[in-house]
C-alpha cells in the first residue's frame, strides 16, 4: 500500500500562493491563466517533436526548465520567478532531486510543477537502451520526485510500476527528446503526458546571458507564442532570467501555467508542412552517441534509430 503524506506541503503551497498573489503588483509579470492538461490516452505535445502542442493565444508562453535542481543555480531561478510572481514546470532529474530534496520541495511550495526527466539523464538517450532498463530509470526518477517534492512515503517499499505511483505532475520529458513507441505506449497506459517543446533556448551551449536573451527573443518574436525550454542548472540562464521576465512583460507576453486535468488535451495541430525537428537531429548525432557509449564501456547494444 502506498501512503501519501501531503497535508503539510499542500497547506504550505496554498499559503505561499495566497501570499504571493497579495504581493504581486501591476508591474509584475505574473500568470495570466492556468491551462488544465488532460493526460489520458497518450498525450504527446510540443511541435519540435510532435504534430500537436498545447493551445496558446498570440503572445502567450509556457515556461519549462530541465535538468535541475542544482544547488547553485536553481535558487537563483526560483528567486527570479518569485520576484515576478511567475510559475513554471520543472522537469527534474531524480538523482539531483535525491541530492537536493529541499529545492524540489521549495519548487512545489512556491507553486511550480515538478515533473519527470528520468533518474540519471542517460546518454545515449533512452531510445538506445533496453526497454526494461529505460523503464527502471524513469520509475526511479518518478519515485525520487514524489518522495522529495510532494511528500509521498512508501512504507511497503518503492512501487515497482508507474501505474502504482500517484503522480502529482504526470508530465514526462525525454532526455534529448528521444522517445520510443514502446515507452510512449507505457506512458499512455498510465496517463502520463509526454512533453517535447515548441521553442528552445539552446542554453545547453555555453553563452553569455546577453547572447541567450537575444537568441530567445529572436525565436519567440518570430513564433509569437509557444512552450519554451530552459535549463535551471546553467549559470548563464540563471543570470539571464530576471531581465528575460521583465522583457516578456515589456513586449506584451503573458505567462500561462499548466496543471494536470481530466480527459485528454486540449491540443493545437501543427501547421501544414510540419516535420519533427528533433527526429532529424537525433538521427544526425546518433553516431556520436554510439562512440561515446563504447568509450564508457556501456554494455548494451545500441538499437537502430527508427525511421521517420
CA distances from 192 to 54, 170, 181 (A): 15, 5, 14
Task: Compute the Cα dihedral for 245, 247, 250, 254 and give only its sign.
Answer: negative
Q: Are strands 33-39 and 264-265 parallel, antiparallel or unpaired?
A: antiparallel
Task: Say if residue 98 is exposed, middle or buried (CB neighbours under 10 Å; 0-12, 13-18, 19+).
Answer: middle
Catalytic annotation present for 67 = no
Beta strand spans in 42-181 (E): 44-45, 52-53, 60-66, 89-92, 113-116, 152-153, 171-172
Spatial distance between the Cα atoms of 35 and 55, rounded to a whole number of angstroms: 9
- Cα 260 to Cα 35, 37, 80, 193, 263, distances in angstroms: 8, 5, 24, 9, 10
Q: Residues 112, 117, 121, 231: which is the catalytic one?
A: 231
Farthest CA pair distance, the chain: 56
Pairing status of strand 171-172 against strand 193-195 = parallel
Choose the catalytic residue: 66, 67, 137, 232.
Answer: 66
The three grid cell numbers given for residue 236, joined into one nine-digit string: 548563464
Q: Which residues contact 110 (CB under 8 A, 6 or more apart)?
A: 13, 16, 20, 78, 81, 82, 87
Q: Is 66 a catalytic residue?
A: yes
Residues identified as active-site: 66, 231
Amino acid at each position: 500500500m502506498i501512503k501519501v503524506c501531503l497535508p503539510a506541503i499542500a497547506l504550505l503551497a496554498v499559503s505561499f500562493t495566497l501570499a504571493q498573489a497579495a504581493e504581486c503588483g501591476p508591474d509584475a509579470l505574473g500568470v495570466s491563466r492556468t491551462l488544465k492538461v488532460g493526460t489520458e490516452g497518450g498525450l504527446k505535445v510540443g511541435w519540435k517533436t510532435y504534430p500537436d502542442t498545447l493551445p496558446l493565444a498570440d503572445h502567450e508562453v509556457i515556461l519549462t526548465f530541465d535538468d535541475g535542481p542544482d544547488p547553485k543555480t536553481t535558487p537563483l531561478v526560483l528567486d527570479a520567478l518569485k520576484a515576478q510572481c511567475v510559475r513554471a514546470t520543472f522537469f527534474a532529474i531524480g538523482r539531483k532531486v535525491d541530492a537536493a530534496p529541499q529545492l524540489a520541495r521549495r519548487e512545489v511550495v512556491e507553486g511550480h510543477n515538478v515533473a519527470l526527466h528520468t533518474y540519471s539523464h542517460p546518454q545515449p538517450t533512452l531510445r538506445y537502451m533496453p526497454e526494461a532498463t529505460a523503464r527502471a530509470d524513469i520509475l526511479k526518477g518518478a519515485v525520487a520526485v514524489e518522495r522529495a517534492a510532494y511528500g509521498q512515503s512508501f512504507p511497503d517499499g518503492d512501487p515497482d510500476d508507474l501505474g502504482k505511483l500517484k503522480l502529482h505532475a504526470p508530465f514526462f520529458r525525454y532526455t534529448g527528446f528521444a522517445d520510443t513507441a514502446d515507452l510512449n505506449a507505457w506512458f499512455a497506459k498510465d496517463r502520463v503526458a509526454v512533453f517535447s517543446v515548441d521553442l528552445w533556448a539552446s542554453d545547453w551551449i555555453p553563452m553569455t546571458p546577453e547572447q541567450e536573451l537575444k537568441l530567445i527573443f529572436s525565436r519567440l518574436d518570430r513564433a509569437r507564442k509557444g512552450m519554451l525550454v530552459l535549463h535551471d542548472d546553467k549559470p548563464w540562464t540563471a543570470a539571464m532570467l530576471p531581465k528575460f521576465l521583465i522583457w516578456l512583460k515589456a513586449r506584451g507576453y503573458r505567462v500561462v501555467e499548466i496543471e494536470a486535468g481530466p480527459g485528454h488535451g486540449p491540443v493545437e495541430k501543427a501547421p501544414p508542412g510540419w516535420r519533427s525537428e528533433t527526429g532529424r537531429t537525433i538521427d544526425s548525432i546518433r553516431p556520436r552517441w554510439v562512440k561515446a557509449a563504447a568509450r564508457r564501456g556501456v554494455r548494451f547494444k545500441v538499437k537502430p534509430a527508427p525511421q521517420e
